[in-house]
Amino acid sequence: MSSVVRIAYSPFSANESLADVIEALQASDSGTDAGFDDRIAAMDLLAKQILAPSSPIRKKIPSEGLAYLATFLQQGYLQGLIARELADVRSLTEFVSVEARKSIRHVPRGLVCHWVAGNVPLLPLFSWAISVVLGNRNVIRLSSRQNDVVSPFLEVLQQLSEAGKVIANETVVVSFDSDNVSAHRLMSEAADARIAWGGQEAVSSIRGLPTHWECEDIVFGPRVSMAVVDPAVIDAGGIRRLATDVVVFDQMACSSPQSIFVKARRNSKEFQSFRDRFSREFDTLSSAYPRHALDFSETYQIGLDRARVLLDGGEISRDRSTSWTVAVVDRPNDTVQCANRFVQLIPFEALDEVFPLIPRNIQTVVSLLGTDDLAEFTEIAAKLGVCRFPRPGEGNNFENPWDGTGLVSRLTRAVMRTDNG
């Protein structure tokens, strides 16, 4: 076990201990009143920087996922996400009347501590962006095995505007081993809100850390996603966008579809046509979006999963190596590890066939069905645990609420006031 804590980004001295940095962050006063509008504008400037070809961010950070992040940080997008939870966003800056002699104000929760999963490196920036726009201070913990993809954004943000400088100075990025219990405890005991991303073991260990009784816990645990489409409804563009949802992030994101339910009989022309068109797009996009170099275990797993599908009576469409795989099965094969661009196609004729196959830890169902089918499917599937029903191409868009959790209400405190008559 290593007890080393690396301060990757801090407005304070990099030589200070984690305890000193957290204490300084809690006590800090930027000296500038960066209100909600200024913070939103700073995020919009950062979005433009991400998209600029000459941006230093693009030179330091892998391009995978940057377009999604840039869209998320745009002023109109962030404002819309926040407005979903607040009847009047002015309550973030002043008391707003809600009824006779009653006003409400939403103030920052305080110190928000983020524990980041390693599967999608940009994940912390989504929850961090909402947190800082709402006025919170933040500590982001990266694994000692992760590359620091957060600090480059803060370095750029600090140069964009006065509000950007304030936001960057309200953020600390640290890195330490998962078994460094004392460092985890320091963060947890200081937190007014804890955001945990990761697998069941990781998020359970974070939730088990001591903290004060009113700390807000937001857990984004191990979820899976799928798609449900009707070949009679989805066109060529929709198939391309659906394939993009699978290819981007190599299915490492919990929002990436691992199986696609297709409304058609297995041997029908409609199903075969969809399979062929999807496979062609999958092949094209897999070439257009290079992924990480597979190690031996990943390559072996793909070969093993292909064999399992064939031995169980399924069919395989694939490239000549291990770049992508489309498996046709009658029901999801739970022995197959759907990762690294390995997706299962499951035919169905009635929606009642799909409902029993929705896993308990479902997050997203990318959906494109006829109007009546869509209404029936989403109403029932929502009660079975589905959190989102985006259309093809929107599967990996970070939204609020996420995993069924509204971030704004969890990262602010609502304060009521009785006004003078």
Q: Can you give the residue ranges of every domain in the chain?
A: 5-221+403-418, 224-383
pLDDT at 200: 86
Protein fold of 5-221+403-418: Aldehyde Dehydrogenase; Chain A, domain 1 (3.40.605)
The 10s digit of each residue's pLDDT in 88-102 is: 999 999 999 999 999
At residue 53 the predicted structure's pLDDT band, cuts being 50, 70 and 90, is: confident
The 10s digit of each residue's pLDDT in 99-114 is: 999 999 999 999 999 9
Please give the structure tokens belonging to residue 73: 């940080």
The whole model's pTM is what?
0.90
At residue 31 the predicted structure's pLDDT band, cuts being 50, 70 and 90, is: very low
Burial of 184-193, coded b for 16+ CB within 10 Å and e otherwise, reads bebbbebbbb
Cα–Cα distance measured from residue 157 to residue 163, given in angstroms and rounded to the nearest whole number:
9
The 10s digit of each residue's pLDDT in 69-83 is: 999 999 999 999 999
Please give the structure tokens belonging to residue 92: 């973030």
Domain range 224-383, CATH architecture: 3-Layer(aba) Sandwich (3.40)
Neighbours of 176 (CB within 10 A): 22
The 10s digit of each residue's pLDDT in 152-169 is: 999 999 999 999 999 999
pLDDT at 146: 75
| Torsion-angle region of 399 (φ positive above 0: left; ψ -120 to 50: alpha; else: beta) | beta
CA proximity to 199, closest of 174, 169, 222 = 222
Sequence-separated (6 or more) residues with CB below 8 Å from residue 407: 85, 127, 130, 131, 218, 400, 401
Q: For strand 137-143 and strand 171-176, is the pairing parallel, antiparallel, or unpaired?
A: parallel
